[in-house]
Amino acid sequence: MQDDVEAEMRRLKLELQKTMEMYSTACKEALSAKQKAVELQRWRMEEERRLEEARLAEEAARISAEKEKSKYKAAMENAQAAQRIAETESQKRVESEKKALHESDEGMSVTTLRYRRYSIEEIEKATEYFAESRKIGEGGYGPVYKCSLDHTAVAIKVLRPDAAQGRSQFQQEVEVLSCMRHPNMVLLLGACPEYGCLVYEYMANGSLDDCLFRKGNTRPLSWQLRFRIAAEIATGLNFLHQTKPEPLVHRDLKPGNILLDQNYVSKIGDVGLARLVPPNVAEDVTQYRMTSTAGTFCYIDPEYQQTGMLGVKSDVYSLGIVFLQILTAKPAMGLTHHISHAIENGTLAEMLDPSVPDWPVEETLAFAKLALQCAELRRKDRPDLGKIVVPELNKLREFGEQNMSHFLVGGSPAPSSNQSSTSTEKVSR
Nearest to 219 by CA among 426, 361, 412, 415: 412
Active site residue 4: no
User: Annotated catalytic residue: which of 4, 162, 209, 252?
Assistant: 252
3 state SS for the chain: CHHHHHHHHHHHHHHHHHHHHHHHHHHHHHHHHHHHHHHHHHHHHHHHHHHHHHHHHHHHHHHHHHHHHHHHHHHHHHHHHHHHHHHHHHHHHHHHHHHHHHHHHCCCCCCHHHCEECCHHHHHHHCCCCCHHHEEEECCCCEEEEEEECCEEEEEEECCCCCCCHHHHHHHHHHHHCCCCCCCECCEEEEEHHHCEEEEECCCCCEHHHHHCCCCCCCCECHHHHHHHHHHHHHHHHHHHCCCCCCEECCCCCHHHEEECCCCCEEECCCCCCEECCHHHCCCCCEEECCCCCCCCCCCCHHHHHHCEEEHHHHHHHHHHHHHHHHHCCCCCCHHHHHHHHHHHCCHHHHCCCCCCCCEHHHHHHHHHHHHHHCCCCHHHCCCHHHHHHHHHHHHHHHHHHCCCCCCECCCCCCCCCCCHHHHCECCC
Nearest to 248 by CA among 172, 312, 318: 312
Q: Which residues are catalytic?
A: 252
